[in-house]
Structure 1
Amino acid sequence: MNGLESYIHHHFGISPTDCQRVSGLFKIETLEKGNYFLRSGKFCDKLSFIESGILRVYVDLPEKDVTQWIGTAGFFVTDVQGFMFRHPSRFNMQALTDMRLFTISYEAYLTMGTLVPKWHEFEKLFMGKCFVMMENRILDFISMTAEERYLKMFDQNRELFNQVPLQYLASMLGMTPETFSRIRRKLVS
């Protein structure tokens, strides 16, 4: 079982045979550091599982860019609004490291329901997990201090602090680089 099959089997309880059917629709894709998975204004016609590497999802605003998410191994990446509802993307998605992805095209994705009869149940579970993850991020923003958000990210994603420019982490946590540095200095001393 490859990483994609293991993830699908573990998180959704799909049989090994169905995991192989599903993963057979995905193709290996590599993305070099600095290259884009997607640019804002373009249509997202793929969904990818990150096998290795780090991807930054961000939006360009008039005075700055804001990191929405940092994708790492073991996570899926797409522009949900674009992929599911066929709207142009609001986000840029850029590789921060060399990446290896399992990628499925929109057209192949649409065939999953005929390939795996229970796919729509799994899809609903997958979307539910994504929704809960976003709800938790929103709750963190409205209920936690900047220091608490920093500590939570550090506890859950310690390796990112050595692999990703700190201004991207600060942006993702909704703080300025100066606030991020001040919290970091306070916690180190």
Structure 2
Amino acid sequence: MGHIREYYEKIIKLQESEWEFIASHFEKREFDKHEIITPKGETENFLSFIETGIVRFYIPNEESELTFNFSFHKEFTCAYDSFLTQTPSEYELQALTKTVAWQISYDNLQKVYAQTQAGNYLGRFASEKLFLSKSKREIALLKYNAKERYLQLFSEQPNILRFIPLKYIASYIGVTPQALSRIRRQIS
């Protein structure tokens, strides 16, 4: 759990008692490569901190899957809209690699918010960060063409290019794998 504390301590200095209270509400889970973490149609009940691994967000479809986000080690992840509203998820989270995560349930997170000042601050920080990331992605999808979105990954999200299979990168930038191959040939 040291990675979670390290993540938190970059944002706010925790009192030892606050950290102990927060840490006591997390449980360790391990997911196999390609295991579904949150199935479509089920309510997200856990906020997860990825200790190691990569998680993919996608909309399952009979014809093709639509990948729209990734989370990497030392990041929080979940089907956040489902988690907040406690309604069924419209998409799935899948471990792309063997993944170790520390999870806190919705109810336990509410306790952390209610009983610690740091928890409230950290929750707000995480929500704001997620909102900014989603807004930036939306703008990129509307403003830039596929080639520009692909090139943007080099500077803004190099982990995606380094660790994610090309078929998921293609879906993430909104093109077919064949179109991504053409883009890659154009820029090499």
| Fold agreement, TM-score > 0.5 | yes
Structure 1 match to 2:157: 157
The question of 1:13 aligning with 2:17 is answered: no
Deviations 1:13-39 (A, max 9, x none): 142523443233211111110211111
Structure 2 match to 1:122: 122
Q: 1:139 to 1:19 in 2, by over 3 A?
A: farther
Question: Secondary structure of 1:151's match?
Answer: helix
Structural mapping, 1:73-92, within 5 Å: 73-92=73-92
Q: Distance in 2 between matches of 1:160 and 1:84?
A: 26
Q: Distance in 1 between matches of 2:96 and 2:122?
A: 30
Segments of 4+ moved more than 6 angstroms: none
Shift of 1:172: 0.8
The question of 1:25 aligning with 2:40 is answered: no
TM-score by length of 1: 0.90
Structure 2 match to 1:69: 69
Gaps of 5+ in 1: none
Q: Distance in 2 between matches of 1:51 and 1:82?
A: 22
Asked if structure 1 preserves the Cα contact closer than 8 Å seen for 2:25 and 2:104, the reply is yes
Q: Distance in 2 between matches of 1:22 and 1:14?
A: 13
Q: Distance in 2 between matches of 1:19 and 1:182?
A: 50
Identity of aligned residues (%): 26
Asked if structure 1 preserves the Cα contact closer than 8 Å seen for 2:12 and 2:118, the reply is no
Structure 1 match to 2:186: 186
Structure 2 match to 1:138: 138
Asked if structure 2 preserves the Cα contact closer than 8 Å seen for 1:5 and 1:20, the reply is no
Letter of the structure 1 residue corresponding to residue 14 of structure 2: S
* More deviation, 160-169/135-144: 160-169
Question: Secondary structure of 1:82's match?
Answer: helix
Letter of the structure 2 residue corresponding to residue 37 of structure 1: I
Letter of the structure 2 residue corresponding to residue 33 of structure 1: K
Question: Secondary structure of 2:139's match?
Answer: helix
Letter of the structure 2 residue corresponding to residue 174 of structure 1: G
Question: Secondary structure of 1:131's match?
Answer: helix
Q: 1:144 to 1:36 in 2, by over 3 A?
A: same
* More deviation, 110-119/1-10: 110-119
Q: Distance in 2 between matches of 1:13 and 1:159?
A: 26
The question of 1:110 aligning with 2:110 is answered: yes
Gaps of 5+ in 2: none
* More deviation, 47-56/160-169: 160-169
Shift of 1:147: 1.4
RMSD: 1.8
Structural mapping, 1:39-58, within 5 Å: 39-58=39-58
